[in-house]
């Protein structure tokens, strides 16, 4: 990922110190548990204002920068996880996308000369000493070959492999502690995400693999002149140095510059969406880091992709499920969408799926033909509260980079076309599939789904007919069951449970405090140690009481929201 160069005269901690495994583990654990303490403290005192979250988020970003490239990448990945983090954290972590300091040009030249075995002037006629851009893993310099071609030279930061080895060990230890002592972390499949993350990270520092990715990506878009993939100069590339064709362009999110060049942002937006649909649904090989620094537009309106280090593949089975889900979304078939999301592991079956189904139908009916409006969800308060309580949504490790790509693209699409909608943007892609000859199982499935969708749009049945057809199917499969449930009773029982729990903690706190006082003043002070133990137990009970009261307060607020 390439970003604007930020001058940084003071070296960061990871650049100054040669860490041992134990020292690196101590740094990681200290940062992690300090942050968890902040969160616990804020929850304890119900200090969860926007200003407090913003301060904690800025502290987190500062420490991720200090910890180095691995954690910068972690922060960049988290900056797209709107399902996990509040807006203040998303905003602060997004600053990591363009706040990465460059390293010295002398180091960069030394790495190039060592890797290629020649002096810099023997390799390149010109080599710009000021980097064009910097990233968490490397930086880019413009250069010119002796044959006259303008190129960019990507140079890897020194010592990354050793640092990644240390971080792999330290984060692995941290996750084991989390899994053992923090039960709430187990539902996020952190170990799978950790394994997937480091697999991709190690691939990113192998520039030979990045060059192969670029060649494969170019081959996939052969015959698509509006998608530009820079050429790799293999004779000037190694595992730590990558020389590629210089293809300048306008940043894809710079709408004013695009319009000044006579380009239509809506058309660029449609081109990008169709390019990603092809990658995900047809090729199964996609660019996993499509932020504005890695996407540009040429003067004649072609879309340019940069940086092929973070690429990911979709397995055949997953791709088939994604194809069916995509066309189910276009058809607004909420039941099939939920079935496919469940089979893909994105949804977990919970005792009452009715709030999820109502929410899915609401989203498909309202937002497939216009951008998502968060305020519109005010109409679905009770469903949101029910889903929050059950937490049926989850993100398997294999889907992490797909979601990251889609959320980043959605942000770019909103800038280019605030009124964009998926159905209209996908039409060129769908039309191209209907003309496909069906070579291979996957392309054949895509073509069949596309033709079925066109037929569906032309012969769209009435709402009553669709409902009766689905009802009949579910009766045949034995999936329809009657569920009687009193939401109000459930909420009341939960409040009673929390109130009783608080009462027990209050009694225990009072009893142990009184016992400690009696032991301290009684029997001539001979039971001081027992009195201290009683006071400590009283303190722990008090913490439990405060926590239970906070939970009771939150429960009452959620119930009031749901009842409005």
92: CB partners within 8 A, 6+ apart: 54, 57, 58, 60, 61
First to last CA, the chain: 46
Give the CA diameter of the chain: 97
Tokens of 511: 């009893």
Q: If we measure between CA atoms, which residue out of 220, 209, 216, 295 comes closest to residue 252?
A: 295
pTM: 0.68
Residue 327: how many other CB atoms lie within 10 Å? 24
For residue 329, the number of C-alpha atoms closer than 13 Å in the C-beta half-sphere is 17
CA separation for the pair 308, 212 (Å, rounded)? 9
Tokens of 322: 């994604």
pLDDT value, residue 172: 92
219-220-221-222 Cα dihedral, nearest 10 degrees: 40
Contact 1, 54 (CB under 8 A): no
DSSP alpha helices (H): ranges in 421-486?
422-425, 427-434, 441-458, 463-477
Token reading at 194: 């950790």
Average pLDDT per consecutive 10 residues, the chain (564 residues; last block may be shorter): 48 60 89 90 81 91 88 78 72 69 88 95 94 86 95 92 91 90 76 82 90 96 94 96 95 92 92 90 87 90 92 74 79 82 72 74 71 55 56 62 78 83 79 59 55 54 59 51 52 75 83 79 67 81 82 72 58
Q: Residue 287: phi, psi to the nearest 5?
A: -75, 115
- Considering 167, 253, 254, 289, which one is annotated as catalytic? 289
Q: Is residue 333 among the annotated active site residues? A: no
CA atoms within 13 A on the CB side of 368: 19
Q: Quote the CA–CA distance of 151 and 272 in Å, as a whole number.
A: 25
- The encoded tokens of residue 468 equal 């009766």
The dihedral formed by the CA atoms of 81, 86, 92 and 97, expressed in degrees to the nearest 10 = 10
82, 86, 78: which is closest to 39 by C-alpha?
86
Phi, psi of 313 (to 5 degrees): -115, 150
How many whole angstroms from its chain centre is CA 134?
Answer: 22
Reported as half-sphere exposure (CB side, CA atoms, 13 A), residue 337 has a value of 20
Phi and psi angles of residue 327, each rounded to the nearest 5 degrees, phi first: -75, -25
Copy the structure tokens of residue 92.
Answer: 């602060």
Report the C-alpha gap between 7 and 57 in whole angstroms: 22
The token pair at 427 is 């039409």
- Distance between CA atoms of 268 and 296, rounded to whole angstroms? 10
pLDDT at site 218 = 96
Please check whether residue 21 is in contact with residue 170, taking contact to mean a CB–CB distance below 8 angstroms. yes
Q: 330, 213, 223, 214: which is closest to 281 by C-alpha?
A: 330
């Amino acid at each position: 990922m390439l970003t604007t160069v930020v001058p940084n005269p003071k070296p960061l901690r990871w650049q100054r110190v040669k860490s041992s495994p134990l020292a690196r583990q101590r740094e990681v654990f200290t940062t992690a548990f300090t942050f968890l303490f902040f969160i616990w403290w804020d929850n304890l005192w119900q200090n969860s204002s926007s200003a407090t979250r913003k301060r904690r988020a800025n502290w987190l970003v500062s420490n991720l920068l200090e910890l180095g490239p691995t954690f910068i990448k972690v922060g960049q990945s988290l900056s797209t996880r709107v399902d996990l983090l509040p807006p203040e954290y998303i905003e602060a972590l997004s600053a990591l996308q363009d706040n990465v300091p460059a390293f010295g040009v002398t180091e960069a030249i030394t790495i190039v000369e060592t890797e290629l075995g020649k002096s810099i002037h023997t390799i390149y006629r010109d080599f710009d000493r000021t980097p064009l851009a910097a990233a968490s893993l490397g930086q880019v310099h413009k250069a010119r070959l002796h044959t006259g071609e303008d190129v960019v030279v990507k140079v890897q930061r020194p010592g990354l492999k050793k640092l990644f080895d240390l971080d792999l060990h330290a984060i692995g230890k941290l996750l084991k502690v989390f899994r053992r002592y923090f039960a709430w972390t187990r539902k996020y499949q952190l170990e799978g995400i950790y394994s997937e993350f480091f697999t991709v990270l190690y691939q990113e520092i192998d520039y030979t693999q990045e060059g192969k990715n670029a060649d494969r990506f170019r081959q996939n878009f052969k015959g698509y002149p509006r998608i530009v993939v820079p050429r790799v100069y293999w004779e000037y590339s190694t595992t730590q140095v990558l020389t590629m064709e210089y293809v300048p362009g306008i940043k894809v999110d710079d709408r004013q510059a695009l319009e000044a060049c006579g380009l239509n942002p809506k058309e660029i937006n449609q081109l990008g969406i169709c390019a990603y649909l092809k990658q995900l649904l047809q090729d199964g090989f996609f660019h996993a880091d499509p932020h504005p620094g890695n996407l540009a537009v040429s003067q004649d309106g072609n879309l340019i992709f940069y940086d092929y280090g973070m690429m990911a593949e979709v397995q055949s089975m997953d791709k088939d499920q994604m194809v069916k889900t995509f066309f189910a979304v276009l058809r607004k078939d909420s039941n099939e969408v939920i079935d496919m999301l469940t089979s893909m592991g994105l949804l977990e079956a919970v005792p009452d799926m009715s709030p999820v189904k109502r929410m899915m139908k609401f989203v498909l009916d309202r937002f497939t033909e216009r951008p998502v409006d968060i305020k519109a969800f005010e109409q679905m308060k009770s469903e949101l509260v029910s889903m929050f309580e059950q937490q049926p949504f989850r993100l398997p490790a294999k889907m992490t980079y797909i979601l990251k790509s889609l959320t980043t693209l959605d942000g770019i699409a909103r800038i280019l076309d605030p009124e964009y909608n998926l159905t209209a943007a996908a039409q060129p892609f769908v039309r191209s599939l209907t003309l496909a000859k069906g070579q291979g199982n996957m392309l054949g499935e895509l073509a069949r789904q596309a033709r079925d969708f066109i037929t569906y749009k032309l012969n769209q049945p009435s709402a009553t007919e669709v409902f009766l057809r689905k009802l009949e199917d579910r009766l045949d499969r034995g999936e329809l069951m009657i569920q009687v449930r009193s939401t109000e009773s459930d909420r009341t029982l939960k409040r009673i449970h929390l109130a009783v729990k608080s009462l027990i903690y209050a009694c225990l706190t009072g009893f142990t405090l009184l016992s400690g006082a009696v032991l301290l003043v009684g029997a001539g002070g001979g039971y001081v140690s027992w009195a201290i133990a009683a006071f400590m137990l009283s303190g722990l009970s008090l913490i439990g009481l405060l926590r239970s009261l906070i939970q009771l307060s939150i429960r009452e607020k959620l119930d009031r929201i749901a009842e409005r």
